[in-house]
Amino acid sequence: MEETKKMTRQEKKALKERLKHLKSGKLEKRDGRMGYFFMIPWFIGVAVFLAYPLGTSFWYALNNIRLTPQGLLATFVGKGNFSNILVQDPDFVVELVDYVTSTILSVPIIVVFALIIAMMLNMKIKGKSFFRLIFFLPVIIVSGPILGMLTAEGAGSISAIDMNAITSAISGVLPKMLADPISDLFNNMITTLWYSGVQILIFLSGLQKIDKSMYEAAKIDGGSGWECFWKITLPNIKPMILLNVVYTVIFISSNSQNPIIGLIQTSMFSGTKEKGYGYAAAMAWLYTVVVILIVGLFALLLMTRKGAYEKQVKRAKKAKKQEARNRKKIERRNVRNAKRIERQRAKGKITSRTTSREDY
């Protein structure tokens, strides 16, 4: 009788666990449905303001678009617009090469400058909020017309540096394809660094989340400031670095001062037979592909292999999941054995004396 009661308790326990899993599964499904319900506005916004414009733009790129009194007239040309851009339009290819070179050069400078300023602003200094405002102010006031006026007045370059000497030195060493973007970077150094306001705030938020006790423990063990930066600061803000790199690439690519943006706008409103909305849409798609490739290149460089600590954490989580699976297997096997013994006892094949602990 006692063994029968024990088996009954085990069955009840297994039944309770099964019901608990069923309830948790229902709750998870209900939460999932509610999550999709709250995501409906986002899906609608993506479909209306992103997917539909992208589809329309790609359709324009495959056609020669004409605006007539009767409406929009589209003549399908296939890849004709793309071929004309790459073969017959030298300005776009030259500007695209200059854009790629200048972006690859200027993005690391902007991100490194933002990281240095963020680390300085994260120190214990007086007037910290004022200095943060000073570095973020250009992001607010430097719009398209203002930035154009400042650049025209020569405010985008460092006046104390002889730019002609630097340009001639760079042109004498590097080929023209690399010399021109590097010279433009020096000529617009101030303007380039003005783009670092948002990146500074992102780095600041990441630096302030690092536990101060990690630096204290490292200093107790004899770690220098340089070692703390490489072993503590840099690994903790690695996601912020990738975020800032992607943001910087997108900001430079969509900036109104970008010559490619002006070239696309000129082609869009051109009255010639070859150019127009379709030609400009094809330019925009080629430009988008190049931007995606640049973002992918930086992501590939920054998404390095995981460190030893991250590998240990991953192995520990994997071992914990395996242990939980083994525990569930043992519990299910015990329940099956208990039911089998109970059936055999009901048929009289075994008695309480012949039941051993090994059967469980």
CATH number corresponding to 81-304: 1.10.3720.10
Between 88 and 9, name the one with better pLDDT. Answer: 88
**Which pLDDT does position 290 carry in this prediction?**
93
Residue pLDDT, tens place only, 307-318: 555 677 778 888
Q: Name the average pLDDT for the chain.
A: 78
For tokens 């070859």, name the residue. Answer: 274
Per-residue pLDDT, 359: 47
CB 110 within 8 A of CB 247: no
Going from N- to C-terminal start, the domains of the chain cover: 17-61, 81-304, 314-359
Q: What is the per-residue pLDDT for 249?
A: 92
Q: What is the pTM of this model?
A: 0.68
Going by the DSSP 8-state scheme, the letter that residue 123 receives in this structure is S
pLDDT digits (tens, 9 = 90+) for 178-232: 666 666 666 666 666 677 888 888 898 888 888 888 888 888 888 888 888 888 8
Phi-psi region of 26 (alpha: psi -120 to 50; beta: other; left: phi over 0): alpha
pLDDT digits over 278-334, tens only?
888 999 999 999 999 999 999 888 876 555 556 777 788 888 888 888 888 888 888
Residue 135 and residue 198 in contact, taking contact as beta carbons nearer than 8 Å: no
